[in-house]
Amino acid sequence: MIVKEFIELKKKQVSFYVKEFNAKRIPYSELNLFLWDTLEEWTQVNLAQDEPYTETERVFWHLIHLLSYWSEDKLLSDQYLKDEMLLCIEYFEFEGEGYFPFECIGIRP
């Protein structure tokens, strides 16, 4: 799998998990398992050393960082984080036509 295919597949999946988590239809443990599975799958991606980032990839890694860095309670209660997660998802859903998250510094693991 190449980077673009990976990001296209995973952006849809992470959007689903974030929406379900925010609606309290899945527990944080399930979201967390998805994050670890995603990082494990990333190790199988064929990545050229000089491959440039797309804006969508940067938003994707930014969202992955938010989800893995902050605690369950903080993700559910902090309005700034909730808005930031929603902004990332909207960016994916509108194929890069949405607003780019403020201070987005998404980098590959």
Each residue's pLDDT tens digit, 13-65? 999 999 999 999 999 999 999 999 999 999 999 888 888 989 899 999 999 99
Phi then psi for residue 14, to 5 deg, are: -65, -35
How many domains would you assign to the chain? 1
pLDDT band at 96 (very low <50, low <70, confident <90, very high): low
Q: Is residue 100 part of a domain?
A: no
In a domain, residue 108? The reply is no
Across the strands, what pairs with 2? Answer: 46
Is residue 107 domain-resident? Answer: no
Backbone φ and ψ for 68, nearest 5 degrees, come out as: -90, -25
Nearest to 59 by CA among 28, 29, 19, 93: 93
Whether 39 is covered by a domain: the verdict is: yes
Q: Is the pLDDT of residue 102 over 80?
A: no
Work out the percent of the chain whose per-residue pLDDT is above 90.
Answer: 74
Q: Which two tokens stand for residue 79?
A: 């309005």
- As a whole number, mean pLDDT of residues 77-81 equals 94
Domain extent for 83 = 3-45+54-93
105 belongs to a structural domain: no
How confident is the model at residue 22, as a pLDDT? 94
For residue 11, which amino acid is it? K
Classify residue 98: in a domain, yes or no: no
> Would residue 21 count as lying in a domain?
yes
Instruction: Please state the pTM of the whole predicted model.
Output: 0.91
